[in-house]
Amino acid sequence: MTRSAPDSCPGVLRLHQAADGPLARIRVPGGRVEPAQLQTLADAARDLGNGNLELTSRGNIQLRQVRDASELAQRLGAAGLLPSETHERVRNIVASPLSGRVGGFADVHGLATDLDAGLRGDAQLSELPGRVLFTLDDGRGDVSTLHGDIGVQAVGTDEFALLLAGADTGLRVSASEAVDVMLDAARGFLDLRGTSASGQWRLHEIAGGVESVLETLDRSPAGEPLELGATHAVPIGWLDQEDGLVTLGAGVPLGTLSARTTEFLAAVERPVFITPWRSLVITDLDEGPAETVVRVLAPMGLIFDANSPWLQVSACAGRPGCAKSHTDVRADLATAVESDRVLPASAEPEQPTEHTATSAEPEISTATGTSEQRTPAKELLPAESVTVAGRQHWSGCDRRCGRPRGSVTDVVATERGYRVDTDDAATTP
């Protein structure tokens, strides 16, 4: 794949000019946020943004409609959420959220801290593209499914498989070696990228890239490559920790947390992890406080019921945040959930026989705005007629940003209504 544009991932010091105003992305290595940091984020969202925090598919946080970027950077820096000005956009580290508390072979949260420090300690690594993703999987196979660029997955209490471009290399390292090997792999990717004319953003985009990086590591594969799964269940509800305490997995509708809910989370005074599934893991609770958290935060919108339809849905930003969007997909999707038109996976929805939109849509506009291919006409539906069962992703245009991996029904807005596309193989971007 050839890239003609430079990587433009936003950060706190380089905002993205979204259609609804400047957008800041705050990196949260390993997803861990301390209570005082949650309070800082709640205050910043209310004072300097649109009043909400957006959770991203890499366990990071976004603020929209940022009014004072320098005040935001100052506040985040004081809270330890912006420890490096040079490396802020390369700190994309996802770790198994339940690690060390519930299941898994090893606790990888310490590796996340060490990897972050290692990245920040190497000036050259500030040149990594902001799209590079590091994954630290404790053996349950959850974050390895994200197909990161460089990662490890525990195969025992002190043995990790090295993953490159989302696949096991067969190379095995100990816990004490894991961070150094990942940093070496990152340097290898950077060198390789430097010799490439087209400046790829991700390791899998370079033909022979994995083999070239492996050569730089000068280690021999020692294990049968692991078969990595495609998806993993999101932790939701009451989970007993191995030390007798309780973890709560909480879904967040469309990954949007209000400043007020964030303040309540801060008041729980326990570490909270942001998951790459745009949900939360609230840890180290005694049973009584855990019951109180559910009683208080469920009415505020957090989801502790694994059967909630909110857990089956996701959406891109849509309007007003994205100028390419044909409509406010999030509002339409929220109405669909509240109107019981998001059905369990086992249900077969009845397709409406009447609708107001035309079924003729001869062309699809691509992400670049060019019309380039004719597709078979599909039925187009008004928002209030869309009824879909199972996992579904709603998008404001054909680009389908934020679409989860795996089997997902696409609900795509067009100029004249929504197109529902259940052909996964044909529609996966």
Q: Which is nearer to ligand SF4, 268 or 317 (CB)?
A: 317
Q: How far is the CB of 48 from ligand SF4 (least distance, A)?
A: 23
Q: Which is nearer to ligand SF4, 154 or 388 (CB)?
A: 388
The residue at minimum Cβ distance from ligand SF4 is 396
Q: Which is nearer to ligand SF4, 383 or 401 (CB)?
A: 401
Q: Under the criterion CB under 6 A, does residue 255 sit at the interface with ligand SF4?
A: no
Please tell me the count of residues contacting ligand SF4 according to CB under 6 A.
12
Q: How far is the CB of 200 from ligand SF4 (least distance, A)?
A: 21
Q: Under the criterion CB under 6 A, does residue 316 sit at the interface with ligand SF4?
A: yes
Q: Pick from 325, 387, 392, 414: which binds ligand SF4 (CB under 6 A)?
A: 325
Task: For residue 355, give the DSSP letter.
Answer: -
Report helix, strand or coil for 312. helix
Alpha helices in 170-318 (DSSP H): 175-195, 209-217, 259-267, 287-297
Distance CA 372, CA 181 (A): 44
Q: How many Cβ atoms from other residues are within 10 Å of residue 388's Cβ?
A: 23
Q: Which is nearer to ligand SF4, 116 or 410 (CB)?
A: 410
- Binding segment for ligand SF4 (CB under 6 A), chosen from 167-175, 312-320, 341-349, 382-390, is 312-320
Q: How far is the CB of 399 from ligand SF4 (least distance, A)?
A: 4
Q: How many Cβ atoms from other residues are within 10 Å of residue 22's Cβ?
A: 18
Cα–Cα nearest to 363, from 422, 419, 429, 423: 419
Write out the H or E segment, with its range, that includes residue 43: helix 35-48
Q: Under the criterion CB under 6 A, does residue 265 sit at the interface with ligand SF4?
A: no
Q: Pick from 125, 293, 294, 322: which binds ligand SF4 (CB under 6 A)?
A: 322
Q: How far is the CB of 196 from ligand SF4 (least distance, A)?
A: 27
Q: Under the criterion CB under 6 A, does residue 318 sit at the interface with ligand SF4?
A: yes
- Contacts (Cβ under 8 Å, ≥6 apart) of 73: 12, 13, 82
- Binding segment for ligand SF4 (CB under 6 A), chosen from 29-37, 49-57, 212-220, 311-319, is 311-319
Distances from the Cα of 413 to the Cαs of 182, 303, 330, 351, 356, in angstroms? 40, 27, 11, 17, 15
- Binding segment for ligand SF4 (CB under 6 A), chosen from 9-17, 37-45, 180-188, 389-397, is 389-397
Per DSSP (E only), the strands in 252-333 are: 256-258, 272-274, 279-285, 313-315
Apex CA 37: angle with CA 36 and CA 38, to 5°? 90
Cα–Cα nearest to 180, from 148, 219, 128, 228: 219
Q: How far is the CB of 400 from ligand SF4 (least distance, A)?
A: 5
Task: For residue 55, give the DSSP letter.
Answer: E
Q: Pick from 75, 109, 232, 400: which binds ligand SF4 (CB under 6 A)?
A: 400
- Binding segment for ligand SF4 (CB under 6 A), chosen from 105-113, 138-146, 280-288, 395-403, is 395-403
- Provide Rg for the chain, Cα atoms: 22
- Binding segment for ligand SF4 (CB under 6 A), chosen from 47-55, 80-88, 285-293, 392-400, is 392-400
Distance CA 313, CA 333 (A): 8
Helices 69-78 and 35-48, packing angle to 10 deg: 170
Distance CA 303, CA 87 (A): 34
Task: For residue 303, give the DSSP letter.
Answer: B
Q: Under the criterion CB under 6 A, does residue 385 sit at the interface with ligand SF4?
A: no
Q: Pick from 324, 330, 341, 391: which binds ligand SF4 (CB under 6 A)?
A: 324
Q: Under the criterion CB under 6 A, does residue 333 sit at the interface with ligand SF4?
A: no
Q: Under the criterion CB under 6 A, does residue 330 sit at the interface with ligand SF4?
A: no
Q: How far is the CB of 54 from ligand SF4 (least distance, A)?
A: 12
**Residue 353 half-sphere exposure toward CB, CA atoms < 13 A:** 0
Distance CA 219, CA 211 (A): 12
* Residue 251 in tokens: 């879904």
Q: Pick from 397, 408, 411, 420: which binds ligand SF4 (CB under 6 A)?
A: 397
Q: Pick from 169, 200, 395, 414: which binds ligand SF4 (CB under 6 A)?
A: 395
- 153 backbone dihedrals φ, ψ, rounded to 5°: -135, 125
Q: Pick from 259, 380, 401, 411: which binds ligand SF4 (CB under 6 A)?
A: 401
- Binding segment for ligand SF4 (CB under 6 A), chosen from 216-224, 254-262, 280-288, 310-318, is 310-318
Residues 334-363 that bind ligand SF4 (CB under 6 A): none
* Residue 227 in tokens: 């078969």
- Binding segment for ligand SF4 (CB under 6 A), chosen from 238-246, 252-260, 279-287, 393-401, is 393-401
Q: In 3-state terms, the chain is what percent helix, strand and coil (to 5)? A: 30, 25, 45
Write out the residues near ligand SF4 by the rule CB under 6 A. 316-318, 322, 324-325, 395-397, 399-401
